[in-house]
Amino acid sequence: MDAHGIEYAWLLSWEIAPWEDHPQYHRVLNPCHRRDDGTHRGIPLEDLLRAKDTFPERFVLGYCPHPMLGRPAELLEAAVRMYGVRVCGEWKFRMPFDDPRCLELFRAAGAMNLPVVLHLDVPYLASGENGGIQYEENWYGGTVVNLDRALQACPETVFIGHAPGFWREISGDADAMPEVYPTGEVTPGGRLHPLFERHPNLFADLSAGSALKALQRDPKHAVEFLGRFRDRLLFGRDYYGQELHEFLQGLGLSGDVMEKIYHRNAERLVDRPSRRNG
């Protein structure tokens, strides 16, 4: 963080149920949290608490309990009360956003003024053969249709969209593209635009490479998109590297757009961390 000039960051949990685990993630997860059956717990709240305790002014705590395990709304409330959690995230589970158990959690987050960071990876991609589709084993959230329903059902909750399944919808050809990260010029009819227009409670982060790849498809469109939704986009990383920063710096965006994306929008949703507020 010091090397890249990052003053503070949001830390997010990821609770992986045994039936959702996939070995591809194990190389980047803490091996201390491997279960006896070989599956992995993910990124538990206790790891985030250790980081926050060590550097209290550098981190905002996030936490999202699994909607299928325990009483998630009560667990989230306890985390807010006991540890000063400020963000519900990362929501990354193999169930539709509009499942009733998810809506209960989202409404609880909204009642506590916690933005919800959502990971969307679609369950099907075009197979490229005779208009067929291929099932994607590691899907999370469903589709933008499920997201649309959740946004309608929870208008008091702020949602922050994220990940490949979300950002592929910047272009109208999302359904026809077999790649997880589509390439090529952005075409009209992308479903993200009307989704932002219909739902003032929808924000998005630019992290993890998925937003970067979507914006790089068409830099001219990227300038228009970033300017149009300047009040609801958040800079993020999710991994080490300067690629997104360097890309944004090269677009010639106004100072107002840059400041909102880099920090002001996030600070509208969640105050800066301090020793006083935990």
Q: Count CA atoms closer than 13 A to 215's CA, side-chain side.
A: 24
pLDDT tens, position by position, for the chain (278 residues)? 999 999 999 999 999 999 999 999 999 999 999 999 999 999 999 999 999 999 999 999 999 999 999 999 999 999 999 999 999 999 999 999 999 999 999 999 999 999 999 999 999 999 976 779 999 999 999 999 999 999 999 999 999 999 999 999 999 999 999 999 999 999 999 999 999 999 999 999 999 999 999 999 999 999 999 999 999 999 999 988 899 999 999 999 999 999 999 999 999 999 999 754 44
Q: Can you tell me the distance from the alpha carbon of 160 to that of 211, in angstroms, rounded to the nearest whole number?
A: 13
* 161 within some domain: yes
- Give the dihedral sign, CA 161/163/166/170: positive
Q: What is the pLDDT of residue 131?
A: 76
Q: What is the pLDDT of residue 110?
A: 98
Q: Can you tell me the distance from the alpha carbon of 248 to that of 252, in angstroms, rounded to the nearest whole number?
A: 8
- 34 forms beta bridges with 40
How far apart, in Å, are the Cα atoms of 27 and each of 30, 34, 84? 8, 11, 30
* 155 within some domain: yes
The type of residue at 97 is F
For the chain, the farthest-separated pair of C-alpha atoms sits apart, in whole angstroms, at 60
Q: Which two tokens stand for residue 137?
A: 């084993």
Identify the residue whose tokens are 């060590």.
54
* 212 within some domain: yes
In 107-164, DSSP assigns E strands to: 116-119, 124-126, 133-135, 159-162
Q: What is the pLDDT of residue 277?
A: 45
Q: What is the pLDDT of residue 278?
A: 45
Q: What is the DSSP letter of 202?
A: E
Domain around 222:
9-268
* 275 within some domain: no
Q: Which two tokens stand for residue 151?
A: 């946004």
- Is the CB of residue 43 less than 8 Å from the CB of residue 29? yes
* 274 within some domain: no
Q: Which two tokens stand for residue 165?
A: 């399944």
Q: What is the pLDDT of residue 204?
A: 98
Q: What is the pLDDT of residue 246?
A: 96
* 277 within some domain: no
Radius of gyration of the chain (CA): 18
What is the CB neighbour count within 10 angstroms for residue 116? 27
Q: What is the pLDDT of residue 130?
A: 75
* 2 within some domain: no
Give the CATH number, domain containing residue 96: 3.20.20
Q: What is the pLDDT of residue 190?
A: 97
Number of domains into which the chain is organized: 1
* 4 within some domain: no
Element (H, E) at 61: strand 59-61
